[in-house]
Copies of this chain bind each other. A is one copy, B any other.
Amino acid sequence: MVVEPSADARNAAERMLDADKASRALGIELTELSQGRAVATMTVTELMVNGHDIAHGGYVFLLADTAFACACNSHGPVTVAAGAEVSFVASARLGDTLVATAEERTSYGRNGIYDVTVRRGDGAVIAEFRGRSRTIERNGEAG
């Protein structure tokens, strides 16, 4: 069952991404958003590759992290990344369009665990990412 985020939550996640100059500058687009779930895409540009035209793992991480941020903020309260684990599975190359799908796995107290899979256009898995989120208290303290 897909639970749609409330209009407020959707606005919060979209405003977050709009205001995120880093993600906009990279051409990252949010293509799906529901409660605890987000899909984001990015095309590998000249600025994201090494000397062999292979995407820098840092940019693959950045895309996954952005999808993760949208998913964990889809619930409404401001939520930040506390940490993440990533395995680099295959290479992405100049011109590849990558799709990162983030899904909430579990939540407890102010903590959440989200799984993000990054795929190439041909469906091949590029990276598996697991993010740990933390909802911020009203006083701005992540704890």
**A interface list, Cβ under 8 A from B:** 15-16, 18-23, 25, 46-52, 55-59, 61-63, 65-66, 80-90, 105-106, 108-111, 113, 115, 117, 125, 128, 130, 132, 141-143
Contact = CB atoms under 8 A, between A and B. Distances in A.
Nearest to A90: B108
A16 B125 CA distance: 25
A22 B56 contact: yes
A86 B111 CA distance: 14
B105 A128 contact: yes
B65 A47 contact: no
A56 B52 CA distance: 26
Residue with the highest number of chain B CB atoms closer than 10 Å, among A18, A58, A84, A125: A58
